Chains A and B, each alone.
Chain A
């Protein structure tokens, strides 16, 4: 009996490996061109500043090379029928147009199309034919057919002129597979800060999201690890906690759980790069509940990151400088803080496309769009037998918790498939 994992972030990778290592064949369906998920966009992890690439890259490669795992990237689940032990799943597999591993990158040079690079949160551009990121798996180039001129109006085939491997005739195919269990691990999207217009994210380049800062902090990132805003290193930086979380006005009343700590980590890394900068964090309550987290928070404070109680109220520009208005709630004083860079600690939201997937699989979503577990004692099972949940698709969590849940979901899937195999 075979299993299916949907989503190749840390949770899905862990689940796929654990099930495969127990002796079951596994399909791993990933919507993106590469596996890795959001964690690949992040450089180091709190609280111990582990280099994520050091952990994630081997995990991705292990999955790719595993003889029991069939990896389907650029693919999506269209429907599911049947019951636990005997699901029929329809999958659409879209073409990459370039053979895996092909990466001389001459094609990239000749391609005339430039679009914002999603992996770098739009901080730089990529071509219509591109390598998703430095350690993408599968590696090599892919063509993004929504932006490629060949697919738009047939007006271009420059890449093909320099690379024989490219095949525009590849077609999307729909395949049907039989599986005994399904692990859903489709992850999350960051909150769109334009829903809080008073923070002026769309108005000023100096207002960025925490995920953008992750890309700036990455040595492999668009600036080679330099933190540069409007052509200069920022001298004063304000972090704004709880953006799009604990906020009924944007229908996200929940706490996103990771942003207190990832902000502390980003502040720490920023301090290492900018020893003389003023760094402030505006927070409501500090949630440093994980193992080693409170201690790390103290480390960050000792690096002279000023924690000021009170959420960011609004942002305006004072002719060049950004100004953040807030109340210091411990002093009961409203204040204005000038900054070159304001980092919005955006919260965790359900992945785009979650409702379609829920419908296709026949599982439930909560009022926010996260998938619903069976109950608090069965936190990886759903009400539909044979379908399990792992990672941020079930609710906000960090990498360790996502991996934990991935392992737990795998154990449940193994047990179920074991029962049905006998």
Chain B
């Protein structure tokens, strides 16, 4: 499958038209010029659009594609209405499938599978909550085990557990070589 077909498939939720909007890119550079990340890092939004147009699969292993904060500034301003930020999200889905997910990102994902929250509660916060007159445990998956089960069921069904390399026996990440 071509790169763009992969991105279309992974990004079906956002719509094929959204992904195919990259073909309208005229390489004006409004996106890169507006990008707060590009001012700090080596990430170049416009170049990414160019490589997507030409189907250059090397971008999947380019760590720079993970430096977009999804601030949507480029998306708002693009004169050709390329859905840049959404395309980047879908492209990262393909990269993740190819195994280019960082350990730190896998850990964040692991917490959601394990607790229902990317940033779970801790003892310190429990104390603060109490002091403020709030329930010590918030009424979320933290309090409702059956709700957590539902999140875990979704993870399994979507093979999200496999994607991030979650080991149900150890309830932790399995060892994986970082690409």
Contact = CB atoms under 8 A, between A and B. Distances in A.
A199 B81 CA distance: 18
A332 B47 contact: yes
B32 A327 contact: yes
B168 to A, nearest CB: 44
Contact of B28 (A198, A328, A329, A334): A329
Contacts of B33: 310-314, 325-327, 334
A81 interface: no
B79 A327 contact: no
B78 interface: yes
Interface stretch (B9-17, B38-46, B149-157): B38-46
A325 B77 contact: no
Contacts of A246: 26, 28, 79
Interface string B80-92: 1100000000000
B125 interface: no
Nearest to B79: A247
A284 B32 contact: no
A241 to B, nearest CB: 10
Contacts of B77: 198, 249, 313
B29 interface: yes
Interface residues of B, number: 20
A334 B35 contact: yes
A291 interface: no
B140 interface: no
A284 B38 CA distance: 19
A313 B81 contact: no
Most buried by A among B26, B38, B46, B79: B79
Nearest to B42: A332
Nearest to B38: A334
Interface in B46-97: 46-47, 77-81
A9 to B, nearest CB: 28
Interface residues of A, number: 20
B30 interface: yes
A356 B31 CA distance: 38
A309 interface: yes
Please report whether the interface of chain A is mostly helix, strand, loop or mixed according to DSSP. Answer: strand
Interface in B104-151: none
Contact of B46 (A249, A314, A329): A329
Nearest to A244: B79
B78 A284 contact: no
B79 A325 contact: no
Nearest to B39: A334
A81 to B, nearest CB: 42
B22 to A, nearest CB: 14
A248 B80 contact: yes
A314 B29 CA distance: 11
B65 to A, nearest CB: 15
A313 B31 CA distance: 7
A329 B39 contact: no
B29 A198 contact: no
A334 B78 contact: no
A332 B45 CA distance: 10
B172 interface: no
Nearest to B27: A329
A246 B25 CA distance: 12
A313 B29 contact: yes
A310 B34 CA distance: 11
Contacts of A332: 32, 44, 46-47
A314 B32 CA distance: 11
B34 A313 contact: yes
B29 A329 contact: yes
A327 B26 contact: no
Given A327-B46, A329-B46, A334-B38, A310 B81 contact: no
Most buried by A among B26, B28, B44, B47: B28
Given A334-B35, A334-B39, A326 B29 contact: yes
Interface string A303-343: 00000011111100000000001111100101000000000
A310 B29 contact: yes
Contacts of B34: 198, 313-314, 325
A313 B30 contact: yes
Contacts of B28: 242, 246, 284, 310-311, 329
Nearest to A247: B79
Given A314-B34, A327-B38, A332-B44, A309 B80 contact: no
A327 B26 CA distance: 14
A311 B39 CA distance: 16
Contact of A248 (B27, B31, B32, B81): B81
Contact of B79 (A249, A309, A328, A329): A249
B46 A284 contact: no
Nearest to B34: A313
7 contacts: A247-B79, A284-B27, A328-B29, A329-B28, A329-B32, A332-B44, A334-B32
Among all A-B residue pairs, the 9 with the closest Cβ atoms? A313-B33, A310-B29, A327-B29, A327-B32, A247-B79, A326-B33, A329-B29, A327-B33, A311-B28
